[in-house]
Amino acid sequence: MTTNEPGSLYQPAGTPAGLESVRNLVNSALDILQEVSAARVGPVAPGGPAGARDAAARALTGPLLPEEGGDPATVLAELIRPYAEWAVDITHPAALARMQPPPTDVAATAELVAAVLNQSLHAWESGPFALELDRWLIARLAELVGYDPAEASGALTPGGSVSNLMAMTMARDTTLGERTGAHPFAGGLRPLAAQPVVLCPEGVHFSIERAVRLLGLGDEHLLTVPVDKNGRMIPEEADRILAELPDHQIAVALVAVAGSTDLGIVDPLPELAAIARRHGVWLHADAAYGAGALFSPRLRGMLDGLAEADSVTVDLHKFGWSPASSAVLLVRRAETLLSFGLQPTTCLSSDDDTCAGYIGLQNTNLQTTRRADALKIAVTLRTLGSRAMGAMVDTCHDLARHAAARIAAEPRMELGTEPPLTAVLFRYLPGGGLDTDAFNGALRRRTMEEGRALIARTHIAREGGGSSVFLKLMLLNPETTTGQLDAVLDELLELAAAMEAEALRAPTRETTARG
Ligand SMILES: *Cc1c(COP(=O)(O)O)cnc(C)c1O
């Protein structure tokens, strides 16, 4: 059998016959998802890591590349069913761990279209309309953060971590270029007279640390700016550090957090922008999570000054109801993206293609082949509209405040801080000399093992040094009701009380480290 015979196993999705086949396969896949969804009891199947491993061992039998392939509906069903059964149900009210919002139906459909048409953004001939859509979306998102779209630009990325890496790269190249006339493009960093450093607050996302490491700046050249009692960067301290830098160091970036991952803290952006400008340093605002506040008239004011940053990281796959990856790095000045350009993209008479408008985006992005993420983001935002988006953000914020008030009123629970956005930090306070950190870690693992709730965990710095384990609820599902949230907390309290009694009766290793 050759591949283009009828009945062949290769069925391209985009032909008339392929589209009909996709329609049928999608229907059968959706039947399976609906069946699995109806049978669910919690946000994840019970059994923990061992359960997931067993399920995988049962499902993943036979070779990856069998000698003879199989019927697509059967192959799909074999993997889709266990995948769905062991998927975290992010629509469940007790799925509260991670920044994964339940995405919209229209976004999921756009994803299917993007896969069927398989456009790419790197060259004009890889996706002409996809390119136009990408450029249009970036201009509109630039406006959303307050940039002038005539001067601004950006890049869709696989996520905030890559956006942050791109921002640090541009900060390094642009600042060094402007301040020293030297550029790391040709000679690398070694011939530079000064060592580049980056300033950031405590609690910056780890992807900034990783970016500094990947750029060869050295971990020790990420300088920590002290924060105030609310966790916000102290502008005077940033100013002092910049003013007192020794001659052999040159600051290339000041990183501000606009909605920290754990506490939702927003650094004082207008003050930091003024300081960065005075010292000739690139200001990067990491609003991967916090940018959701832009949709809410009530919360938008928290992000005043965002447009004064040279670059802004925005993840719409977090606080934006678009599926991953829906991420963008926005830059105030389009030309700074040329850190990623190896070929000229302006019309230089010699390049016929560029002059004639056959321009792709591989020179303004870290990626070459790049999927069309703009489609699902655009349909999500246009379907919801600003009024619904604002209401959804506010509802999530209200849910967080409801949970915080409830926790603050529970004698056996401690609230971290009032939630500025939608993350609520708390911990259970066990009695009987049980170690609070170990107890909360064990409590979280038990909820996952039993498939009852998914809650995150983090470490929060204590005054006077050290850190404590806190649990975290991330509220990004506006369909959740306060009653459902109360039920999750009730169940958690009940489980904690049972574990406490258990630990005090028959000490186990997990919960009895006393301290
Ligand atoms: C989530 C997050 C990131 C990383 O984004 P990804 O999309 O997960 O790569 C960076 N910064 C902040 C503040 C975040 O909350």
Same domain, 70 and 142: no
pLDDT band with cut points at 50, 70 and 90 for residue 354: confident
pLDDT number for residue 349: 60
- Most ligand 1 atoms within 8 A of CB, residue of 163, 207, 317, 325 to mutate: 207
CB 456, CB 97: distance < 8 Å: yes
Ligand 1 atom closest to the CA of 159, numbered from 1 = 7
| Assigned domain for 282 exists | yes
Compute the distance between CA of residue 494 and CA of residue 105 in angstroms, rounded to an integer.
Answer: 36
* Residue 134 domain boundaries: 119-370
Ligand 1 atom closest to the CA of 204, numbered from 1 = 13
Ligand 1 atom closest to the CA of 257, numbered from 1 = 13
CATH number at residue 484: 3.90.1150.10
pLDDT number for residue 510: 56
Alpha helices, DSSP H only, in 104-196? Answer: 105-117, 128-145, 160-180, 184-187
Same domain, 69 and 156: no
For residues 156-182, give the mean pLDDT.
Answer: 94
289 lines ligand 1 (CB under 6 A): yes
Ligand 1 atom closest to the CA of 161, numbered from 1 = 9
Residue 473 above 60 pLDDT?
yes
Q: Determine the distance separating the centroid of ligand 1 and the alpha carbon of 169, expressed in angstroms.
A: 17
Tell how strand 311-315 and strand 327-331 pair up: antiparallel
Q: Determine the distance separating the centroid of ligand 1 and the alpha carbon of 267, expressed in angstroms.
A: 16
Label residue 219 exposed, middle or buried (CB < 10 Å: 0-12, 13-18, 19+): exposed
Nearest-CA neighbor of 337 among 40, 106, 134, 46?
134
286 lines ligand 1 (CB under 6 A): yes
Same domain, 276 and 196: yes
Same domain, 361 and 401: no
Compute the distance between CA of residue 77 and CA of residue 33 in angstroms, rounded to an integer.
Answer: 10
262 lines ligand 1 (CB under 6 A): no
Q: What is the DSSP letter of 358?
A: -
pLDDT number for residue 402: 98
CA-nearest residue, atom 10 of ligand 1: 160
The count of C-alpha atoms lying within 13 angstroms of the C-alpha of 56, restricted to the half-sphere facing its C-beta, is 8
Alpha helices, DSSP H only, in 256-365? Answer: 269-279, 352-355
CA-nearest residue, atom 15 of ligand 1: 261
CATH number at residue 185: 3.40.640.10
435 lines ligand 1 (CB under 6 A): no
161 lines ligand 1 (CB under 6 A): yes
Compute the distance between CA of residue 361 and CA of residue 340 in angstroms, rounded to an integer.
Answer: 10
Q: What is the mean pLDDT of the chain?
A: 94
- β-bridge mates for residue 223, sequence order: 199
Residue predicted with more confidence, 188 or 375: 375
Same domain, 363 and 403: no
Same domain, 366 and 462: no
Same domain, 126 and 44: no
Ligand 1 atom closest to the CA of 315, numbered from 1 = 7
Residue predicted with more confidence, 359 or 407: 407
Same domain, 334 and 446: no
CB 447, CB 453: distance < 8 Å: yes
- Domain boundary (87, 102, 132) is at 87
Same domain, 332 and 184: yes
For residues 356-372, give the mean pLDDT.
Answer: 92
Residue 461 above 90 pLDDT?
no
288 lines ligand 1 (CB under 6 A): yes
Residue 509 above 70 pLDDT?
no
Same domain, 331 and 230: yes
- Give the tokens for residue 320: 């934006």
CB 394, CB 478: distance < 8 Å: no
| Assigned domain for 112 exists | no
Q: Determine the distance separating the centroid of ligand 1 and the alpha carbon of 305, expressed in angstroms.
A: 20
Query: What is 1-27 written as a DSSP string?
Result: --TTSTT-S---TTSHHHHHHHHHHHH
For residues 69-80, give the mean pLDDT.
Answer: 96
Residue 513 above 70 pLDDT?
no
- Domain boundary (37, 67, 87) is at 87
Same domain, 352 and 410: no
| Assigned domain for 96 exists | no
Q: What is the pLDDT of residues 189-221, one digit of tens each?
A: 877 888 999 999 988 999 999 999 999 999 999
235 lines ligand 1 (CB under 6 A): no
| Assigned domain for 377 exists | no
Q: Which residues contact 20 (CB under 8 A, 6 or more apart)?
A: none
Residue 508 above 90 pLDDT?
no
Lowest mean pLDDT among 17-31, 290-304, 484-498, 500-514: 500-514
Residue 2 above 80 pLDDT?
no
Highest mean pLDDT among 6-10, 200-204, 338-342: 200-204
The percentage of the chain sitting over the pLDDT mark of 90, rounded to a whole number, equals 86
- Most ligand 1 atoms within 8 A of CB, residue of 98, 205, 302 to mutate: 205
What is the reported pTM?
0.95
325 lines ligand 1 (CB under 6 A): no
Query: Cα–Cα–Cα angle for 268, 273, 277, nearest 5°?
Result: 155
For residues 144-163, give the mean pLDDT.
Answer: 97
Number of domains in the chain: 3
Q: How are strands ordered across the β-sheet holding 456-461?
A: 413-415, 423-428, 467-474, 456-461
Same domain, 75 and 162: no
| Assigned domain for 168 exists | yes
